[in-house]
Amino acid sequence: MFTMEFYEVVKTRRSVRSYRSEMPPGEALDRVMEAVRMAPSGSNRQPWRFILVTDAEKRRKLVALCKNQGFIGEAPAVVVACGFDVGYNRGGYMGDKQFLVDISIAFTHLVLAARAEGLGTCWVGDFENAPVKELLEVPDDWDVVVVSPLGYPKTDAFVETDRRKPPDEIFSWERF
Ligand SMILES: Cc1cc2nc3c(=O)[nH]c(=O)nc-3n(C[C@H](O)[C@H](O)[C@H](O)COP(=O)(O)O)c2cc1C
């Protein structure tokens, strides 16, 4: 099995917006799913469900529900991450929104593990929650948190970039 060095994964992960149609091998998907399963969550509640959508018709509908971001439909699979308020939250100042943190951590595992497998993702937050729930039969008390295509990039998408704030704007020591 090919494994990438962790910092290489982090540096070269990009939001991929152009995909080939071939389905990744099952072993690669299994490793990505295992990385998601291992993610930490508040009090280990794991308030999540990750739906892998491969059906062409459902993917077409998902594109429409994500403001017609067409690249989502190019990928052979779309991952839809759902979460719910489990109702107890030790020390949680975030109240019933804690699951957003939990799902975001797990989805970060997903995008990084996918990159390590040579697979592209793009965290999509611009979607209509209620119709996506209806399409995928998500229970009423759950919410959709993230949508992402999953597949091999069409072009060499994994380029290093420094489109980020400089360190002195985002880190400080001892005080804000
Ligand atoms: C919460 C969140 C929502 C996002 N929503 C979208 C989206 O709806 N469509 C899209 O093309 N990219 C979306 N992105 C991707 C960002 O634009 C991208 O991560 C950012 O520009 C940095 O680029 P990079 O991921 O290639 O490093 C989203 C990213 C995050 C974290």
Structure confidence by residue, pLDDT tens digits, 57-115: 999 999 999 999 999 999 999 999 999 998 866 656 788 889 999 999 999 999 999 99
Containing structural domain, residue 134: 15-155
Structural domain contains residue 161: no
Q: Which residues line ligand 1 (CB under 6 A)?
A: 14-15, 17, 69, 122-126
Cα(91) to ligand 1 centroid in Å equals 30
pLDDT per residue over 72-87, tens digit each? 999 999 999 999 998 8
Give residue 130's pLDDT.
Answer: 98
Residue type for position 159: V
Instruction: Record the pTM.
Output: 0.96
Report CA torsion sign: 12, 17, 20, 25: positive
Domain for residue 107, yes or no?
yes
Total number of domains constituting the chain: 1
Q: Name which residue sits closest to atom 18 of ligand 1, judged by CA.
A: 15
Rounded CA gap, 16 and 153, in Å?
A: 7
| Position 160 in a domain | no
Pocket test residue of 19, 68, 80, 122 for ligand 1, highest count of atoms within 8 A of CB:
122
- CATH code, domain carrying 82: 3.40.109.10
Residue 3 is assigned to a structural domain of this protein? no
